[in-house]
Amino acid sequence: MNRKLLFCLWAIVAWIAPAAIAGALGWKGIWGSSSAFADYLVPAPVAGGAFHLPSFIAVSLILFTQPWAGRPGGVVRGILVAGALVGVATLLDLDRLQLAATTDMAGGRFWQQNPVGLFIFTDCVIAQFFVGALEGRWPESMTEWAASLVVALAVPAAYAGAALQADPRQHNPFVYGGAREGDRRGDEMVFYYSKLPLGSDAFRQAASAVLAQHDPRMNVNAEDIAIHFYDSLATAQAQDRRAAQYTVCLYQDGTATTWNAGSFDCFDMHESFSERFETAYKVQDASLPQDVRIWRAHRDACAGRKPLVAPAGMYMDNQEVRACDPERAERARTELLRRFAGEDRVIASLGS
């Protein structure tokens, strides 16, 4: 079989194989299309196949420059094995594997839908079947076997180490364990595993980034937030607040942040704006239209509240800012006056 025919056969098999595998596994296209199969077949910049070109070209050059003369020819298969293992490492979630190896994290999926890793892996594996047909050879002497083995093991190991160090999650002293709502509206609990000693100066300093991320002043859903920290990743993922070893309480209304050892109830002794609004709504005249009762409840809940002011350079948006904005409240009142014109009792309830 001549080299041109071999290249055509190689190109067809190597190009279609990863698309078929991804399609069979149910992967989505790079840009969100329903199936990866068609997306990976197209080598255009707007399709997933464009990411296949680098590995396809590189492996084609390794393959169709065979046979390599002298000792380098003995390490070709080692290079292809190294490439296949790099592809495997790219498909693995190395950070998750590292956490599984160094913490009490439960199992789960360690594979990622990474097309680049799939392309590299399939190209290098399929190329192994063509090396012999192109007069490439296996290592012969012990020196060649040793060199091939070093390439096959050292290259993917170096890649995995570099990829792990480049992963920003490796440099984050906290691992997010999830979040869920509290028992009352506006309350939220967030769970983190800490790689630092809980309560230490280093912990408090590093935790400032977590607190900024969950700042309730920029949250339209949560007003009181309890951030629970653990030295066990499994417990953080289980979201057992009673087992928390450190708790930080954040409040939207300007109440000072508190740092508390152990599991601490951030909500019981604090009234959020939503709770204040619900209390005000319950005492409104039930015979009034609902929209009017809501407006009056917002007015009463906002009465006496110190306006929230956003820190310099920060845009603040939350339920209290929206409800207590004088301009917004006046626009809502004007609309209600127009809608209920002629209903004296409703008009009187809206004030002057």
Alpha-carbon distance values, 129 to 132, 134, 285 (Å): 7, 10, 82
What gap in Å lies between CA 97 and CA 111, rounded to an integer? Answer: 10
DSSP letters for 34-58:
S-HHHHHH--STTSGGGGGHHHHHH
The verdict on 149 and 15 lying in the same domain is yes
Checking if the pLDDT of 108 tops 80, the result is: no
pLDDT band at 179 (very low <50, low <70, confident <90, very high): very high
The verdict on 7 and 154 lying in the same domain is yes
Range of the domain at 233: 174-261
What gap in Å lies between CA 30 and CA 191, rounded to an integer? Answer: 31
What gap in Å lies between CA 58 and CA 87, rounded to an integer? Answer: 14
Checking if the pLDDT of 313 tops 90, the result is: no
For residue 317, the model assigns a pLDDT of 83
Mean pLDDT of the chain: 90
Q: Mapping DSSP to helix (H, G, I), strand (E, B) and coil, where does residue 339 land?
A: helix
The verdict on 60 and 207 lying in the same domain is no
Question: Is residue 268 in a domain?
Answer: no
The verdict on 51 and 158 lying in the same domain is yes
The DSSP output letter for 227 is E
φ/ψ bin of 187: left (φ > 0), alpha (ψ from -120 to 50), beta (otherwise) = beta
Of 136, 170, 204, at which residue does a domain stop? 170
pTM above 0.85, yes or no: no
First vs last C-alpha separation in the chain? 95
The verdict on 21 and 156 lying in the same domain is yes
The verdict on 214 and 94 lying in the same domain is no
Checking if the pLDDT of 352 tops 70, the result is: no
Q: Give the residue-averaged pLDDT of 231-246.
A: 92
* Overall domain count for the chain: 3
Sheet-wide strand order for 187-194: 174-181, 187-194, 224-230, 246-251, 258-261
> Taken in order 8, 12, 18, 21, is the CA torsion positive or negative?
negative
**Best CA proximity match to 248, nearest among 202, 192, 197:** 192
Of 217, 236, 261, at which residue does a domain stop? 261
By mean pLDDT, which of 5-9, 98-102, 113-117, 134-138 is the weakest?
98-102
Contact 88, 125 (CB under 8 A): no
The verdict on 182 and 97 lying in the same domain is no
φ/ψ bin of 169: left (φ > 0), alpha (ψ from -120 to 50), beta (otherwise) = alpha
Q: What tokens were used for 22?
A: 């991804």
pLDDT band at 1 (very low <50, low <70, confident <90, very high): low
For residue 312, the model assigns a pLDDT of 78
The verdict on 195 and 285 lying in the same domain is no
Number of C-beta neighbours around residue 224 at 10 A: 25
The verdict on 147 and 292 lying in the same domain is no
Checking if the pLDDT of 216 tops 80, the result is: yes
Rg of the chain taking only CA atoms, in angstroms = 31
The verdict on 142 and 227 lying in the same domain is no
